[in-house]
Amino acid sequence: MSFGLSEVSVRFGATTALDHITFAAPRGSVSAVVGGDGAGKTTLLGCLTGAIEPDSGRVERPAKRLLGVMPSTSGTWRDLTVDENIDFVARAYGITGEDLRAKRGRLVAKAGLDRARDRLARQLSGGMRQKLGFVLALLHGPTLLVLDEPTTGVDPVSRVELWGMISEAAAAGAAVAMATTYLDEAERATTVLVLDSGQALASGTAGEVIGSLPGTISVVDRPADPRRAWRRGRVYHEWHPGGDSTSAQIDSDVDLEDTVIAQMLRRREHAST
Amino acid sequence: MTATAARVVAESAGVTRRFGTFTAVSDVSMRVAEGEIVGLIGANGAGKTTLIRILLGLLAPTAGSVSLFEQIPSRNTRQRLGYVPQSLGLYTDLTVTENLRFTARAFGSSVPAALSDELSAVKDRLVGEIGLGLQRQLAFVAALAHSPELLVLDEPTSGVDPLARSRLWDTIHEQADRGVGVLVTTHYMQEADQCDRLVIMVAGRVAAAGTVSEIIGGRTAVQVDTEAWDEAFHALTEAQLPVLLAGRCVRVPDASVDDVERALARAGVSAHVTAVPSTLEETLITLGRA
């Protein structure tokens, strides 16, 4: 069974926050939505959880008690300890006794929080707090996990641990839908939807998204058109919308980041003509 | 531009900083030369921010020494560097123009004449009302207005979209091309690739330093290609291996092909297992465990 959005539009006054967006979150996989501040990621996730009612389109989601949500602020109670946070959520879902003991032991160890169980959530580092937030969202065994930028501001070591937990939840059969601003991370997901100002720029596997860009991207020392070029280390990557330019081959160094930058440039060029 | 030939704009020599019994930074020696982009990478609590504060002259080291432009950090050296903290250091209840006037007065420089079209369009708006991407752009303009010789950036692109991020990096490279030394912290490995050199900190110490390929060295990870990635993931997790999902395959940093094959065979999972060069992220995990 697949959860997700089909042709969903959301308007806030004169602003179109989502414009005919389709986003599938099948069970047993990680589906990522990528974009910057204001792209529509949180609105999309809000439609998926039911917090936002779309103006048009269809949403498939599980019953509320099978939904796990982690907001970008981590969703932890800062004046409660790690254990008290877990107790609170367990109580709400009626998880008790041996079941709670086993779940707590396993998840707290996975999150590397075993030695922090008596610490207040406010005293945790950003990465630890995000991991606790994930534990809370996962505790009741949801079939759909909705995670809003779980790794923003999280250090590389905690991020890898968080990714391990996210992957494990998907491997165990949950549908994971997550927002991120980072494309190296989106490349790890099963599929990616790229949003820009409420519009879908591209979607599919990372390979499909890279392949869907019109034209080619080349690696050059000096770009022919600086407006269509960006720095990657000491060299430039340049997008040639023309397509079959013989001098410009899609370089093996071209990644999802390059493709999304080019897609965003393309959309802006279209908007200004 | 090689680091040996160029002038050093920031340097720490054997710097240690203790807070009570806690050692935040331990015997760190590193340098930033003019025209060079140095990335400072590490987990929260690894000592990056403490080291930056010491380099800026905001915090005294317990042992060791620092120099900025071959001098002891002072008000005079502060004039010659630009700093963008994680919190951006802007006044959210002043307008874009007022913020720029404020920094110009503080540094005795002039207000930048030309702004990007995007920033011009919001120049009379309160900074608190413009988006995060524009705020980051503005913090850069403010930090660059007095033509610093050293730029210190603490997670400069957190939360902005890929195009805005690439434009901020274009600005950073432009400054480096002009001879400005850049010290930048980031949590993102793709940004680490933008740097000429990296300094990796683990628990207050320098765990590795050099170019990305020098740091990765000959390290390998094990890639597992299989139809049943979820079963492979389970089997490897059960075997206590540090397994990571990567699109439609899984990778195991810091493990041998034999160990991975054995764990998969035990669980009856058939897969194609190969050793591949480590990514920087995988290398960090290995360094963090050591």
Q: Which amino acid is at A111?
A: A
Nearest to B285 among A126, A160, A184 (CB): A160
Query: B220 touching A, CB under 8 A?
Result: no
Does residue B2 sit within a domain? no
| Domain interval for residue B245 | 217-289
Residues B206, B212: Cα–Cα separation, whole Å: 15
Query: B218 touching A, CB under 8 A?
Result: no
Domain of residue B278, CATH code: 3.30.70.790
Q: Do residues B155 and B134 both lie within one domain?
A: yes
Q: For chain B, how many structural domains are there in total?
A: 2
Query: B194 touching A, CB under 8 A?
Result: yes
Going A181 to A187 to A188 to A191, the CA torsion angle's sign is positive
Residues of A within 8 A of B242 (CB-CB) are 160, 164
Which band of pLDDT confidence, cut at 50, 70 and 90, is reported for residue B227? Answer: confident
Instruction: Provide the residue-wise pLDDT of chain A in tens; the chain has 273 residues.
Output: 689 999 999 999 999 999 999 999 999 999 999 987 788 999 999 999 999 999 999 999 999 999 999 998 899 999 999 999 999 999 999 999 999 999 999 999 989 899 999 999 999 988 899 999 999 999 999 999 999 999 887 888 788 889 889 999 998 999 999 999 888 888 889 999 999 999 999 999 988 999 888 888 989 999 999 999 999 988 999 999 886 544 444 566 788 999 999 999 998 888 877
Residues 21-80 of B with CB under 8 A from A: 41-46
Shortest alpha-carbon distance between residue A58 and chain B (Å): 27
Write out the two tokens for A218: 């080349």
Does residue B110 sit within a domain? yes
Q: Do residues B189 and B147 both lie within one domain?
A: yes
CB–CB of B163 and A264 under 8 A? yes
Consecutive H or E run containing B29: strand B22-33
Does residue B72 sit within a domain? yes
Shortest alpha-carbon distance between residue B268 and chain A (Å): 16
CB–CB of B190 and A257 under 8 A? yes
Query: B272 touching A, CB under 8 A?
Result: no
Q: Do residues B89 and B130 both lie within one domain?
A: yes
Stated pTM of the model:
0.87
Domain of residue B155, CATH code: 3.40.50.300
CB–CB of B187 and A154 under 8 A? yes
Nearest to B187 among A155, A166, A167 (CB): A155
Shortest alpha-carbon distance between residue A172 and chain B (Å): 7
- Domains of chain A in sequence order: 3-75+129-204 (3.40.50.300), 207-272 (no CATH)
Does residue B143 sit within a domain? yes
Which band of pLDDT confidence, cut at 50, 70 and 90, is reported for residue B109? Answer: confident
CB atoms within 10 A of CB B189: 22
Q: How confident is the model over B115-131, as a mean pLDDT?
A: 90
Beta-carbon contacts of residue B19 (< 8 Å; ≥ 6 apart)? none
Confidence check: pLDDT of B1 > 80: no
CB–CB of B159 and A127 under 8 A? no
Beta-carbon contacts of residue A249 (< 8 Å; ≥ 6 apart)? A216, A218
Residues of B within 8 A of A34 (CB-CB) are 162
Q: Do residues B230 and B160 both lie within one domain?
A: no
- Residue predicted with more confidence, B193 or B1: B193
ipTM metric: 0.83
Torsion, Cα A73 A79 A84 A90, to 10 degrees, reads: -40
CB–CB of A234 and B131 under 8 A? no
Q: Do residues B128 and B225 both lie within one domain?
A: no
Nearest to B190 among A152, A153, A184 (CB): A184
Residues of A within 8 A of B230 (CB-CB) are 28, 170-173
CB–CB of A39 and B161 under 8 A? yes
Q: Do residues B188 and B256 both lie within one domain?
A: no
Q: Do residues B23 and B102 both lie within one domain?
A: yes
Q: Which residues pair with A196 in a beta bridge?
A: A199
Q: Do residues B164 and B248 both lie within one domain?
A: no
Shortest alpha-carbon distance between residue A30 and chain B (Å): 9
Q: Do residues B59 and B178 both lie within one domain?
A: yes
CB pairs under 8 A between A and B: 139
Separation in Å, CA B200 to CA A24, B23, B30, B39, B40: 38, 17, 11, 8, 6
Q: What is the pLDDT of residues B8-48, one digit of tens each?
A: 999 999 999 999 999 999 999 999 999 999 999 988 788 99
Q: Do residues B206 and B138 both lie within one domain?
A: yes
Amino acid B37: pLDDT: 97
Contact B250, B266 (CB under 8 A): no
Q: Do residues B61 and B197 both lie within one domain?
A: yes
CB–CB of A181 and B169 under 8 A? no
